[in-house]
Chain A
Amino acid sequence: MAKKLNKKGQLIYRRLFAFFAIFTVYLICIMLITSCEQKSNDEGEDTDIKLYELRIAMTEAAGNLPAMSVVDGSMESGEELFPYLSDLSYELVDDYFFSYSSDGSPYELAVILLKDESNAKFAAQSLDEHISKRVATYSTYKPGYADAARKASVVSYGRCVALIMCDDNDAVKEAFRSYLEN
């Protein structure tokens, strides 16, 4: 067809050809990007998890809490303090927060945001071990706190694994679930 065109026509033809070539590449890129986003949207209600907001939601749901101290992954000492919560390798952790009673009473709220949710089970096990250690500590130094510590819960949703130790674990679990589902 190009041979049938004059020079001007050939120029236009080439421009159109280039346009459609670029357009085709664009189409392919769009499809690739879209498929990735589709995967994320299918699997990741967690694409926009803000641990700060989650902590606020869980803290409000817990009701009356004593004065709490908080450490999280954004702190300079975040990685150094993480082992007080979990013996999970920090390389597996995307972010975390650990809110605990400043006076040592059995009130703790923590969430570990994993890089890969396939490690959720292991993170949960580490939090279970944390509870065991707290019970042992209380049994020795403050026996009156041990029962409350035993009632602590560990729950997970996607990449998030939470430790809940307070007077109303169920309310905090619901807040945890609601935030991540929405």
Chain B
Amino acid sequence: MNNVSEKTLEAGFLPGPGDGKTTPRPLGKAIYIMLALVLIVSATAAALGVVSILGIKNVNSELRDMDGEIIRVGEFIEHATGIIGATQDVAQEDDVTIGGRYVIKSTRAISDAYITKDTSALDDKQKETLSMASAILDSIIKDGMSKYEMALAVYDWMCANLKSDEGVIVAIPTTTEDCDNPYGVLKYHNAVCVGYATTYRLFMQMLGIECMVVHDSWLSHTWDLVKLDDGKWYHTDIYMDVGEGNYKNFCMNDTLAAMGHTWNKDFFPAANGMEYCYVYKNAVPVTDIFELPTLIKKGSEDDVTALYYSFSSLDARTYQMIETMMSLISSYFGSYYRYDYDGAQIYADIYGIGEMSDLIVDRPVPKSLYWDWIGGPNGEYIMRISITKQENSNYYELTEEEYRQIQEAVTDVFDDNQNSNVISAEICYISRDNAGPYYIVMSGGCFYIVYTEPLGGAYVGSIISIDITNADYIYLGGVEREFPDYGFLPIEAEIYGANVWLEGSPIRG
């Protein structure tokens, strides 16, 4: 009895009514441990279940934005995007940040130092800027120049000697240091618009010409306003003309500048001058619209990049004729070639880029031609033509087959009835009884025919078909050839004795 009790007491339990047997100590501990583990696991599981059942949530799970609108968690939201219409404009000239990065800074200290010959107030950078600017002015400014002539001389120098820093359009700009102030512009010849504008202003102020740097309403671009000899202000945007120097953005009044710029007109002075608007001063009067192809071709060959032609009056029909002519002319700039069917020589279009002997190696840089219309100061109509080089364009020469496919695809769709739109036999039907030659200049279904004799007329329109089966002979590239057995003719084919059905309007009879 005592042994049993002792053992029981050792186990920590009172002796019970049992048979006196007690649980051995190690087994008791194991039971305790197992029981503890079971309880822990059960509790954890229960906790998860309790939370799930009761739906216990963070009190902040229902989110609201500043306006109290509930934002549903996990929701995919597509936000409407749109251009923010409100202007960010500021009514000041200097200390304006453009493009979030470039700051318009005054250079008055430098220009004053140039005028007073006192550089004591300048730091080293400013002195170097003054030195560079002075050297340039000494080389391009002559005694007796008017303000306009000085403004033009500086414009010419900057367009010819500086280049645009294209890093400005990168999302995180990679522009070079000091590209936005005259120091960097004159030293490294690399600038963003702020650099051009502040440098031009520096030059003008050194020459005693009033000049302001204008920023656009989006704070993304800058140019200059210059006060010239007539006491009126004129816009000049050198950045837009740099590299080409075509004067397209030189000396513009508000009307011309507004075609490509927006600015705070309440703050900046009005530019309503006419006398020194470059376009008005240099527009060539045109009385015969058929002179245009020759004028434009010569301009292109002389590498002129901007041409201006004025028309004293323009009725709707004449305007349409000019537009049709310009469309045809523009198609000759860089896109189309005609081929020698022997394949040995390839010739460029007559209004385009000259003659080539090797398509791959000697291919000249193609050009693009664009034009628009503006009103002149005396009610005339001025056509502005830009001819630009496509230096790095992806340019693909059309093969003969590609050109033929294009021609057929277009005519199949648009030439529904080849004989239904003949205007009149007298005008549109050129019978083989007529002596040649005449030149057919053709592109994309439009043609321009110049007769040398005997009709002496010209037509603009669409060639419906050219029946050359009975042609005496044709010339291609100045060399007599047997006429080919396919349906279309290349450009500048001289045709003798062919029957031509045309659709279109005569320009002149």
Contacts and interface: CB of A to CB of B under 8 A. Distances in A.
B165 to A, nearest CB: 10
Contact of A141 (B46, B63, B168): B168
A31 B171 contact: no
Nearest to B217: A136
B73 A43 contact: yes
Interface stretch (B78-86, B243-251, B274-282): B78-86
Given A120-B65, A155-B78, A158-B74, 14 more contacts: A6-B14, A27-B47, A35-B57, A43-B74, A69-B170, A101-B170, A104-B167, A117-B71, A132-B84, A136-B220, A137-B168, A156-B77, A157-B76, A157-B77
Contact of A30 (B9, B44, B169, B193): B44
Q: Which of B51, B65, B75, B99 lies at the interface centre, i.e. has the most chain A CB atoms within 10 A of its CB? A: B51
Interface stretch (A8-16, A50-58, A89-97): A8-16
Contacts of B10: 8
Nearest to B55: A38
A72 to B, nearest CB: 12
17 contacts: A8-B9, A8-B13, A12-B12, A23-B40, A31-B50, A35-B56, A84-B172, A104-B171, A108-B171, A140-B193, A155-B78, A156-B76, A156-B79, A157-B77, A173-B78, A177-B76, A181-B76
Contacts of B193: 140-141
A111 to B, nearest CB: 13
A128 B220 contact: no
Interface in A142-177: 142, 145, 150, 152-158, 173, 177
A38 B57 contact: yes
B235 interface: no
B100 A83 contact: yes
B76 A36 contact: no
Interface in A1-40: 4-6, 8-9, 11-12, 19, 23, 26-27, 30-31, 34-36, 38-39
A147 to B, nearest CB: 12
Interface string B373-407: 00000000000000000000000000000000000
A69 B78 contact: no
Nearest to B99: A137
A103 B73 CA distance: 38
Interface string A108-124: 10000000011111101
B115 interface: no
Interface residues of B, number: 53
B81 A43 contact: no
Contact of B39 (A8, A23, A45, A155): A23
Contacts of B268: none
A26 B43 CA distance: 9
A118 B64 contact: yes
A71 B172 contact: yes
Contacts of A125: 79
Interface range on chain A: under 10, 10 to 19, 20 to 34, or 35 or more?
35 or more
A129 interface: yes
B13 A34 contact: no
Q: Which of A38, A108, A129 lies at the interface centre, i.e. has the most chain B CB atoms within 10 A of its CB? A: A38
A121 B75 contact: no
Contact of B169 (A26, A121, A138, A173): A138
A42 B76 contact: no
Contact of A8 (B12, B63, B66, B170): B12
A100 B171 contact: yes
A134 to B, nearest CB: 7
B43 A30 contact: yes
Interface in B288-321: none
A133 to B, nearest CB: 7
B356 interface: no
The 3 closest A-B pairs by CB, nearest first: A104-B169, A100-B171, A136-B218
Given A117-B71, A131-B81, A34 B12 contact: no
Contacts of B424: none
B4 interface: no
Interface in B55-114: 56-58, 61, 63-66, 71, 73-79, 81-84, 99-100
Contacts of A44: 73
B170 A100 contact: yes
B36 interface: yes
A141 B221 CA distance: 9
B40 to A, nearest CB: 7
Q: Which of A6, A35, A44 lies at the interface centre, i.e. has the most chain B CB atoms within 10 A of its CB? A: A35
Contact of B81 (A100, A154, A158): A154
A154 B61 contact: no
Nearest to B84: A132
Nearest to A15: B32
Q: Which of A44, A125, A140 lies at the interface centre, i.e. has the most chain B CB atoms within 10 A of its CB? A: A140
Contact of A137 (B40, B52, B73, B220): B220
B48 interface: yes
A104 B77 contact: no
A120 B71 contact: yes
A125 B52 CA distance: 37
A57 to B, nearest CB: 15
